[in-house]
Amino acid sequence: MKILGIESSCDETAAAIVENGERILSNVVHSQIDIHKVYGGVVPEVAARSHIEVVNPVINQALSEAGLSWSDIDAIAVTYAPGLIGSLLVGTLAARTLAVIKQKPLCAVHHIEAHIYANFLDTNDPTWRSPEFPILALVVSGGHTQLMLLHDHGDYELLGQTRDDAVGEAFDKVAKIIGLPYPGGPSIAQAALKGDSLAYKLPIPKVDGYDFSFSGLKTALLRSVQANVGVRFDFPSTQLASKLNDQQRNDFAASFQSVAVEALVEKTKKAFGEYQPKSVVIAGGVAANKVLRQKLAEALPIKIQYPPTYLCTDNAAMVASLGYFYARQKNFFNPLELEIFPSLSITKAIWQKDV
Ligand code: KG4
Ligand code: ZN
């Protein structure tokens, strides 16, 4: 079964074709990073406008790169939640229209659930294997930080989540404070390579159960930067970066990354001990972080799984993979009625059926 996936929930316009949930036949991602870089973050209206401009060419490119025509496509899968309103609207409208015109069944998938399914994609890596249920999933993206237990396709338990900032959001905000370019995650990871993670002592967030918190860590970093450059706590964070030298910047990046990763690893290790899953996967943009991968691998007795970097950040192959498992169960939506849900939680979204 060949599924065309469409993703436009934030600042990537993407289309991909995946066979049987595993085999990537094409994977096209049009990133808006360069457009938003000048603003230091995603500007929703600008994002929506860019999606409109490229969504059709991106879909056509996915078909042509796979060497397929519409008659080869069995179903369309699109991200309908969560994300930016304008961005979600463009992708879902394109998918709904194509589903009607080309007479294809339509699967509507949750973006966070799709991130987890990036781990089901075969990337020609000889060490790759499909995750086995029960799966413990650490979801770490720009908008979400969650620990989930997946008993089977569509049968999930949310063990915990962030009570404030997502970890990716914290990477992005800290990068801004210390003067590293957007997106902050990769910039901090790179700067940290040249920094000392013990240079500045930052507190590990303490939260009950399997929940996380990152806003206190971000504030602690801000206070530490202010103290180290010799200004008061009310000195504007936007003017701090120019007061840091490169070594301080790299040391702050390394110190922050180390504590953020430790918080993620600590909770994942605890959940592994309690639930004894068969597989542990990391998903979402922050899963690209090499220190996180390495520390988690060291902390757990089984091999952890994570997608290659280009499948950690937003893409449509993960949407098409998840779409296959929906389609297999004929879990389709009526294209004339599909709505978007900008802030829908994964536990409310999964495997609902309205036709
Ligand atoms: O999953 P994603 O592409 O978009 C959302 O669904 O949010 O995640 C984007 C997030 C951003 O916050 C970005 O800074 C972070 O992933 N990120 C990283 C790395 N690469 C991307 N964070 C830490 N280390 C990285 N190497
Ligand atoms: Zn994402």
Q: Is residue 171 within 8 Å of 179, Cβ to Cβ?
A: no
What's the rounded mean pLDDT across residues 317-335? 96
Other C-beta atoms lying within 10 Å of the C-beta of residue 70: 12
The residue contributing the CA closest to ligand 1 atom 13 is 185
> Ligand 1 centroid to 167 CA: how many Å?
9
Enter the tokens of residue 288: 């690209």
> Per residue in 145-199, pLDDT tens?
999 999 999 899 999 999 999 999 999 999 999 999 989 999 999 999 999 999 9
CB neighbour class for 243 (10 Å; exposed up to 12, middle 13-18, buried from 19): middle
Which tokens is 206 given? 């303490």
Give yes or no for a contact between 140 and 292, defined as CB atoms under 8 angstroms apart. yes
Q: Which residues, 6+ apart, have CB-to-CB distance to 163 below 8 Å?
A: 207, 211, 212, 213
Q: What is the DSSP letter of 83?
A: S
- Between 254 and 38, the more confident residue is 254
CB 280 within 8 A of CB 272: yes
CB 4 within 8 A of CB 97: no
CB 205 less than 6 A from any atom of ligand 1:
no
Q: Smallest Cα–Cα separation from 248: which of 288, 296, 194? A: 194
CA distance 25 to 83: 26
**What pLDDT, in 10s, does the model give residues 340-354?**
999 998 877 655 544
Nearest residue CA, atom 10 of ligand 1? 142
Q: What angle in degrees, to the nearest 10, is found between the helix axes of 246-275 and 167-178?
A: 170
> What is the CA(311)–ligand 2 centre distance, in A?
10
For ligand 1, is residue 113 a contact (CB within 6 Å)? no
pLDDT of residue 117: 98
**Predicted confidence (pLDDT) per residue in 211-259, tens digit:** 999 999 999 999 999 999 999 999 999 999 999 999 999 999 999 999 9
pLDDT at residue 355 tops 50 = no
The reported pLDDT for the residue numbered 353 is 47
Model pLDDT, residue 350: 59
Mean pLDDT on 298-314: 97
